[in-house]
Structure 1
Amino acid sequence: MTTSLPAPRAEATPTTGSPAGAPEPSGPARDLPSATLGGDRQRSVEQIALLLFIIVPFVALLAAVPLAWGWGVSWLDLGLLVVFYFLGCHGITVGFHRYFTHGSFKAKRPLRIALAIAGSMAVEGPVVRWVADHRKHHKFSDAEGDPHSPWRYGETLPALMKGLWWAHMGWMFDKEQTPQHVYAPDLIKDPAIRRISRQFILWTAVSLLLPPLIGGLVTWSWQGALTALFWGSLVRVGLLHHVTWSINSICHAVGKRPFKSRDRSGNVWWLAVLSCGESWHNLHHADPTSARHGVDRGQVDSSARLIRWFELAGWASDVRWPKRSRLDARRRVENPEESAPAQTA
């Protein structure tokens, strides 16, 4: 592969439970049970499912605007869209990302399982695969080996346009390059998480069928079920997909960079609410294990708020809240306007 990305760095961004800097093992590590749908070597079922679950919601998302303009959308359908959107979004941001990938906090067993299921309902792939890919992304962020850097093809405008497409969704259809037994052995060794990961299609079905079931029962009509399927399932999944993928593409191409990181991650404010706080991406790459990404005044981060509620309820512990001294050490001195008091809890 010809690429203008820099060579991999010697140091690796730390991720809890991830042997990201280790060579590919042989022996016992190789013998870990598969957590991938169809097995690590037979991914055709997962690839077909992924293609289907990307294309259909995307088509629905494209059709949503003219349909809403012509026929409108009911409050029930809108409510289902919002509730299931933020359920899946926080399942990804709090569960798959901050907890399973980076170990930003410790969770009691029921919460651990609930987060794995909620994240699976976002229809972004099995939890073990998602975590493995993201840990690899942090090890090689915007360097050779990064699964989805928008700078993959160079820095000219045509190269960046091609790279943005690759980072947004093209990379998911590339040949599997992330060995899950290397990047996520801790999850594979957990029978419950391994089972949930292999049940990706089951949780996808639950995610897609619950809105029409609720819509049909509330309205007691097939029409209510169908409109709930369209808005609460297909449009919702399509919107969540593209918001999540924008963190890989847009947030690594543009945005403010008040903190020092080893890559081109930036803060994109207009994605903050829809991404549940993930678009404060510069701080995340400057301090990956931090439970809060939006640390400056006015930076909305609903995922951090949810983690705080879990902590207050006693479901989460050892939360890695950002400390002022740690933030100050990572802040760029050439950005005095970004030095507003940070939120540390």
Structure 2
Amino acid sequence: MRRFSLVIAGLALILVLGALMGVALGPVKLDIHQVLSAILSGEDRMAHVVVWDLRLPRVAAALVVGACLGLAGCLLQSSTRNPLGDPQLFGLGGGAAVVQALAIAGLLGMGTWALLSLSVAASLVGAGAIALFASRQGISPARLALIGVSISALAAAAATGILAEARIFSSQSLYFIGGSFVNRGWQDLLPAVPFLGVGLLLALPVVGNLNVLGLGDRVAANLGAEPRRTRTIAIVSSGILGGAAVAVAGLVGFVGLLVPHLARLLVGHDFRRVFLVSIPLGAAFTLYADQAARLIFMPSEIPVGLVTAIVGAPLMIYVARRVL
């Protein structure tokens, strides 16, 4: 218990430091006094605009998206008993990617709330397919991963085809494919927060059941876990979280795949603790990746998905050697 408390406290400190760095650093550098003044009083008009209108919503968006992806990956890996469970790899964000590509191409004229809701609904189509296959007796985690990869590849091809047909070769499409928080404001973030809440609340009742699902469906059923219902709820929750993340930031890879493994290394295999740690850990990983994407080549930026891939791939190889 003490180790778990220390991990949570450490992650909280890391998040606070990352948030302060996110609002203070950039082409216009602000000291801590200017940051606090901008947040609390707004006396410095320039600092107030930079912090409240530009940097703080971006920091908040990175935190929300990271929490969504970390939690979605945690739920997928546990419910499917597949260490490669990831919302991108399993195609849960594929439907949302197609919807966002249609929006970038100018083929969907709707507001932010409606577009995000449609993205989540499209993501749930992929979640439903995965849940349907996962409920079948005898399907192996490897076959389930192959089905997810196929769905993801099909959706990625459709999204790329839409952008190519519309002759969208701008930085907007690049940032969508690679994932980015460029120009993300409160109007982009706030509609996603309820979906994070819904995904979290939907998953909470089955956290205890997911803890015994790893023992096998027969044992889990004997313990009253209702494997099919538990698995379906967890995958649907992952679909909601993954769809919301894609709608806000585009395709950000490796977060959902890596974070649950790091959480297990930190707090062990008790799913209740892994579940809780994956939320701030995913948020912290995405936040710092975005800071790197924003600051390394300042004033230019690179997609945040490029940073998560560069950092995540070696870490995933290390984790795989430890746990797979």
Q: Higher relative CO (CA 8 A, sep ≥ 6), structure 1 or 2?
A: 2
TM-score of the two chains, using structure 2 as the length reference: 0.28
TM-score of the two chains, using structure 1 as the length reference: 0.27
